[in-house]
Chain A
């Protein structure tokens, strides 16, 4: 660890231009994150070529700022309108919007801000001090481990709908079914494509999310009589700063949730290809097991856990990139491009060869997460009051516009809009029948990972199932899966026994 380089990079961030570009990045990230359909990947794809002409101490703070704050930006529409701005805030919408309906909009936004900044800072510190160690650990994850991790992730859908396992299972199975559309990862055989090339790579995730969460809300607004919708979406009373600042008591209450969610986010985040969704679902599952049916009713922990988890995934996804040269997801792949443009090769030697830039990047992650706090609070103070001034009918139209634009932009085609419309209807029906959406999303995302990892393991082991049980890490995760699945059963028995004794 080169403390001198770290210290000088730290000082350098606080000079005028790097700090300004970091600020610009954080603000831009919050804006694109809060618009459904726009996200960090698409923003960075546009920005990276522009950074050619910039010196590295302006380019990287800008990019890091966008990357850090985009997934926090997604929390704003998730909480206020129940429309996640990014995929990373799909779970924030559940308890976040329930809090708004209870009149706790300020508190919900405050919790999201505190959680994101806190977990972001922790994972930036992890990136700074433990990157090489963690990268080695990430390499231990082979096909068997990915398989077991995904099964573990999928097991969290058990009981996701409070007390309605059947509906959760239905949602999960539908997700698995939709995930089957497209080319088989093993043989390349097209499944359920009906000869259409649009379906060849499977249905695109972003238009599905836009439909399920965005358009379904628009349909909901359309279905309600005008006088009801007047109260539907955002809080009526203006939000004051005082509403958003958390009391010491609340901070103390949320601290365990923050720490466990940040730990989960860091561990899952460093695995290339494992993804943000697994982290937020596992973090939320922990909360759900602790609070049971209170979840989904506007529980502060229900906002804190996913928001803390998603922001800690951001910095930790840079661990394999900076210390091994493997981009952890599509966004950090763009960072790889940005690094190369500046003449830098990510890998173990990066911190020795160009410590100034390497530490500038990890330092930027730290400072970006700190800056996010005041900027986030400021936006949280302004945005809801702005939304309130828009008549509900116009708001629905505006949301529909944003949804269609976002769905179109993914592949520059009408196909995205059709997918969004179809899933908008499905989401509307799900909501009407009180079928939870989250198992659907999780199954949709994990099914291809499970299938691929299964075939990979079979190919490596020569077709032996025991491969999953002979790898210690994989075995551990499978045992946890079984425990997770039996937990509700155990709890029910446990509850029944004392009551029987009492009788």
Chain B
């Protein structure tokens, strides 16, 4: 009798461990942000973590900041973490250019893309007080090499955007690299440099007060956030697209059930009205793409980067 009970218990135990993967999630999930606390990636990560328990059976997302090495530290950590669905990476374009420009132990294939939730098109801005009023003025001046450009840092996505435009349009910029987006803004608004490249989300709030002026949006169509601002293509007839993105990935080699479960739950979270409303309040649009679409987007961006990266001279 006792034996029978014990064996039933054992069978039940065996059954439950076989179901382990399907039972995902059974514990809290680490959400690794490869940047210091306080930035946009950290901030949106905390918005996601705040909404997570509702979609992950009450389990929490624990935001772990792992800054260092231009996001390499956090990205390496996740690429080497167990592929069990309990470690996720806040994914940005740095995952692509780090793998291309630095001697890291991972590449795009080391990760399973799960969802993309935010696309922010690049804009060219000048100070509200600047003499450069139009994109035409800007391009003319830049041809003769008299335009200084503030960037939030060497080899950032915004620096690469400027390099890419310079290559396409045969321009030469003087680069003024900063340590943060705040310092970049200070130099543009103080009219110490002629122009700057940043994402629309960062610039839009400063336009209405007249402190910043957006010359062009580098996207295929106008943004809903700024329907009055024309694209580069509209003004010149030539296509120029650039932007930053924010997504979520896991280590490569996730069990299929876990990957499916994660993709479904994240999709529900990221498209829930409550999450979208909170993102909107904080100045971010939600542009959800599922795992396959995100993967395609990543590969496409990687192609685009490959063409520009030789311009990044890090040898001097």
Contacts and interface: CB of A to CB of B under 8 A. Distances in A.
A198 B177 CA distance: 22
Interface string A111-149: 000000000000000000000000000111111000000
B66 to A, nearest CB: 5
B179 A142 contact: no
B269 interface: no
A399 interface: no
A318 to B, nearest CB: 13
B28 to A, nearest CB: 15
B60 to A, nearest CB: 12
B209 A197 contact: no
Given A198-B73, A448-B179, A49 B47 contact: yes
A270 B315 CA distance: 36
Interface stretch (B11-19, B188-196, B216-224, B229-237): B188-196
A499 B315 CA distance: 59
B76 A197 contact: yes
Contacts of A45: 37-38, 42, 46, 65
B208 interface: yes
A413 B205 contact: no
B186 A141 contact: yes
Contacts of A48: 43, 46
B176 A459 contact: yes
Given A139-B186, A183-B70, A347 B192 contact: no
B66 A413 contact: yes
Contacts of A413: 66, 68, 73
Contacts, number: 163
A455 B102 CA distance: 23
A294 interface: no
B278 interface: yes
B26 interface: no
B281 A340 contact: yes
Interface in B174-226: 174-180, 182-183, 185-187, 189-193, 205-206, 208-209, 211
Contacts of A415: 68
Contacts of A460: 148, 174, 176, 192-193
A187 B316 contact: yes
Contacts of B193: 460
A349 B207 CA distance: 11
Given A348-B211, A456-B176, A460-B148, A273 B69 contact: no
A184 B193 CA distance: 21
Contacts of A138: 186
B282 interface: yes
Interface in A421-474: 448, 452, 455-456, 459-460, 462
B50 interface: yes
Contact of B205 (A197, A342, A347, A462): A347
A296 B179 CA distance: 34
A189 B316 contact: yes
Nearest to A460: B148
Interface stretch (A69-77, A170-178, A321-329): A321-329
A200 interface: yes
B211 A411 contact: no
B10 interface: no
B174 A272 contact: no
Contacts of A330: 36-38
Given A326-B185, A337-B43, A349-B208, A198 B69 contact: yes
Contacts of A412: 64-66
Interface of B: 36-39, 42-43, 46-47, 49-50, 64-70, 72-73, 76, 102-104, 148, 153-155, 174-180, 182-183, 185-187, 189-193, 205-206, 208-209, 211, 278, 281-283, 312-316
Given A42-B37, A346-B205, 10 more contacts: A45-B37, A138-B186, A188-B312, A273-B182, A320-B186, A326-B185, A326-B189, A333-B182, A412-B66, A452-B178
18 contacts: A41-B37, A45-B38, A140-B190, A143-B176, A187-B316, A188-B155, A188-B314, A198-B68, A326-B182, A326-B185, A340-B281, A345-B205, A347-B205, A347-B208, A348-B209, A348-B211, A411-B65, A456-B177
Which 5 pairs show the lowest CB-CB distances between chains A and B? Answer: A45-B37, A197-B69, A142-B192, A139-B190, A200-B69
